[in-house]
Amino acid sequence: MSDGPNDTENWQARAELAEAALNRFQADADVKLIRAELKAEAVKAGMIDLDGLKLIDAGEVRLNEAGELQDAGAVLARLKRAKPWLFGGGGSSSAAANPPRPEPPRARHANELSHEEWQQARAALLRRR
């Protein structure tokens, strides 16, 4: 085998292609990591619909050397001010605050009522007629 100029150029071209593929892979991994971290931060911030993350400019968030998002809290705070309906309000009418009853209310039978309760129920029925 000879190590001519063609072999050196071939190896150099292959190394450049491999380096370009590695850079593309790293960029794709960074984008996926940013999305995952933004989702986690959005849930912490109380975002109701994570589709609202599409409104964030990807250029606003960067990863630091440790692989963590920089200024994610600030980006989400700006989004919360601009589009507050994407975030939970923490109102008392929330389904999580008032869980449903385990069973629907059941009508009581006449034989389960006291004599006074039965008379009141009977009088109420007769008034409706």
What is the pLDDT of the chain when averaged over all its residues? 81
What is the pLDDT averaged over residues 2-8? 67
Phi-psi region at 69: left, alpha or beta (left = phi > 0; alpha = psi -120 to 50): beta
* Res 23 pLDDT > 90: yes
The residue among 96, 100, 120, 99 whose CA lies nearest residue 108 is 120
Q: Euclidean distance between the first and final Cα of the chain, in Å? A: 109
CA distance 63 to 53: 17
* Res 50 pLDDT > 60: yes
Say which amino acid occupies 90. Answer: G
> For residues 55 and 19, which has the higher predicted lDDT (pLDDT)?
19
Residue 25: predicted pLDDT: 93
What is the pLDDT averaged over residues 102-124? 85
Domain locations along the chain = 8-88
pTM of the full structure: 0.53
